[in-house]
Amino acid sequence: MNQHYQELISRIKEIAVLGSCGAVLGWDERTFMPLAAAAHRGSQMATLAKVGHQKLTDPYIGDLIDQCAAATLIADEQANVREIQRNYLRATKVPTELVEELARVTSEAQGVWQKAKETNDFALFRPWLEKIVALKRLEADSVGYEDSPYDALVDEFEPGARTSELKQLFAELARDLAPLVATINDRAKPVRHDLFEREFPVAIQEKLSREIAIAVGFDFSRGRLDTTAHPFCTGIGPGDCRILTRYHKNQPMESFFGTMHEAGHGLYEQGLDSEHWGTPLGSAASFGIHESQSRLWENLIGRSRTFWDGYFPKFKQAFGSVMDDVDCDEFWRLVNEVRPSLIRIDADEATYNLHIILRFELELALLTSELAVADLPDAWLSLFKKYFDLKVPDETRGCLQDIHWSFGGIGYFPTYTLGNLYAAQFMEKIEDDVPNLWDDVRGGELGGLTKWLRENIHRHGQRYRPSDLCERITGEPLSPLPFLNYLRTKFLDG
């Protein structure tokens, strides 16, 4: 192995260890940390971010990259150098002071956001969001862009993504979704909403959540499942992947589907090559590809009629008399009901992406100063009326419902829709490659699907950029058509 490459990888892995320390602190902050510790946690996160940024932007890293670029390396080594160089060039453009301030402000802002959401008080969170938006504008200006400052931010989450392309993709999707949702609603059969007025013991929900995570392949010897206000997954390092869900006594599917979703993320983290941990080859291709894994498990598998044909008897038995008068057909229609909703994470498959498009438009307006933070609640009401024809009753169920802006995740939301589109496009290929897929799903045998995902997506890490990975697997660039065809087949032809 080339000695310059060896030293470069050693230094990058050392930086990754700092990042994993931050991941542990972030997990603790959203699970067990006392609220009064927010300011100190902000200082901890800021210090880690500062040290990590200083190490990554050390000119010697640049020298090592140049030496590696001039050397003869194998394909995997070239891929690592390519992505390390990308990260290095981005990092060197952003002042360390800005990185430190962003880490400090966003760490503290998460606690303020949580309190603001609980008390329905946007005014409490407003000054913090104003700081975050201002800092993200500075970050975009530091990184640089050709067309839109949003390009500089979304590229962090989805390498190669451009605002102009997202606008076109989302416009095509929204154009076809509106009439499709209307047709689905016109043909829908009545749904029994009374089912979720009953009480489903949380202890049983916890048991089923753990069992379904195991069924899809999540390895509890290398991970754990906990509870939090806003479910998430974090890959801390080799042998340490943590998924989180939440429980509600009247909403058992929130934890069940939430666990399938986060387990999908967890499978990706556990499927990355541990030998390459800390390097691009040991890291996920993008947030959109990551989201494709969670969406595939939660929706394309977990909400499929085939899955419930096999799993419903076990689910019904677990809750006993609560489910005595419910059959599989009624249950499946309920958990797949299509109707506009206030909350993004509760949205059905057909309307979910409209929630993302709304946030995408608001983020663009905030970043370009077309929208002031103070006017965000009213702008939210207006766009929600446009896309959903619903009146938002309060800020808790409006612009305060998501944690993302509090941690500085401007540019993150589009990856959710990209994940939905990737998942549907991948599934078309999976159905070709795994001929007994749906028989296996009905029988609760999910290992064949996990194996395909390991082989075609997980093990590659960042060997390929997301758009290249999509074309390599499916033979086509990313398109909304497979997703739209999936919805039509499921809700209109099935």
Handedness of CA 7, 10, 12, 14 (dihedral sign): negative
- For residue 46, count CB atoms less than 10 angstroms from its CB and return exposed for 0-12, middle for 13-18, buried for 19 or more: buried
Q: Count of CB atoms within 10 A of residue 60's CB? A: 11
Provide the token pair at 21.
Answer: 């320390």
Residue 406 near residue 113 (C-beta atoms within 8 A): yes
Residue 357 near residue 417 (C-beta atoms within 8 A): yes
pLDDT tens by residue, 253-296 = 999 999 999 999 999 999 999 999 999 999 999 999 999 999 99
Which CA distances in Å does 295 have to 229, 288, 290, 421, 432?
A: 20, 10, 9, 9, 19
Nearest-angstrom CA–CA distance, 452 and 467: 19
- Residues 6+ positions from 461 with CB-CB distance below 8 Å: 272, 273, 276, 279, 280, 281, 282, 283, 284, 285
Nearest-angstrom CA–CA distance, 161 and 477: 13
Q: Count of CB atoms within 10 A of residue 410's CB? A: 27
Provide the token pair at 408.
Answer: 């500085």
Residue 491 near residue 306 (C-beta atoms within 8 A): no
% of the chain residues with pLDDT over 90 = 94
pLDDT for position 493: 85
pLDDT for position 346: 87
pLDDT for position 343: 94
* Mean pLDDT (the chain, rounded): 96
- Residues 6+ positions from 463 with CB-CB distance below 8 Å: 76, 79, 281
Q: Torsion angle of alpha carbons 299, 301, 305, 308, nearest 10°?
A: -110
Segment 225-251 mean pLDDT? 94
Question: 494 pLDDT band (50/70/90 cuts)?
Answer: low
Handedness of CA 242, 246, 247, 252 (dihedral sign): negative
Nearest-angstrom CA–CA distance, 399 and 413: 13
Provide the token pair at 118.
Answer: 């609980």
% of the chain residues with pLDDT over 70 = 100
pLDDT tens by residue, 392-444 = 999 999 999 999 999 999 999 999 999 999 999 999 999 999 989 999 999 99
Q: Torsion angle of alpha carbons 348, 233, 419, 159, nearest 10°?
A: 150
Nearest-angstrom CA–CA distance, 173 and 303: 21
Per-residue pLDDT at 345 exceeds 90: no
The yes-or-no answer on residue 428 being catalytic is no
pLDDT tens by residue, 111-167 = 999 999 999 999 999 999 999 999 999 999 999 999 999 999 999 999 999 999 999
Q: At the topology level of CATH, where does 163-493 sit?
A: Neurolysin; domain 3 (1.10.1370)
Question: 322 pLDDT band (50/70/90 cuts)?
Answer: very high
Q: Which residues of 255-283 are buried (b: 16+ CB within 10 A; e: fewer)?
A: bbbbbbbbbbbbbbbbbbbeebbbbbbbb
pLDDT for position 178: 87
Catalytic residue among 156, 262, 269, 349: 262
Task: Record the pTM.
Answer: 0.95
3 state SS for the chain: CCHHHHHHHHHHHHHHHHHHHHHHHHHHHCCCCCHHHHHHHHHHHHHHHHHHHHHHCCHHHHHHHHHHHHCCCCHHHHHHHHHHHHHHHHHHHCCHHHHHHHHHHHHHHHHHHHHHHHHCCHHHHHHHHHHHHHHHHHHHHHHCCCCCHHHHHHHHHCCCCCHHHHHHHHHHHHHHHHHHHHHHHHHCCCCCHHHHHCCCCHHHHHHHHHHHHHHHCCCCCCEEEEECCCCCEEEEECCEEEEEECCCCCCHHHHHHHHHHHHHHHHHHHHCCHHHCCCHHHCCCCHHHHHHHHHHHHHHHCCCHHHHHHHHHHHHHHHHHHHCCCCHHHHHHHHCCCCCCCCHHHCCHHHHHHHHHHHHHHHHHHHCCCCCHHHHHHHHHHHHHHHHCCCCCCCCCCCCCCCHHHHCCCCCCHHHHHHHHHHHHHHHHHHHHCCCHHHHHHCCCCHHHHHHHHHHCHHHCCCCCHHHHHHHHHCCCCCCHHHHHHHHHHHHHC
Nearest-angstrom CA–CA distance, 77 and 166: 31
What is the layout of strands, in order, in the sheet containing 223-227?
Answer: 223-227, 240-245, 233-237
Extents of the domains making up the chain: 3-144, 163-493
Handedness of CA 418, 337, 403, 206 (dihedral sign): negative
Crossing angle (nearest 10°) for helices 75-93 and 59-70: 150
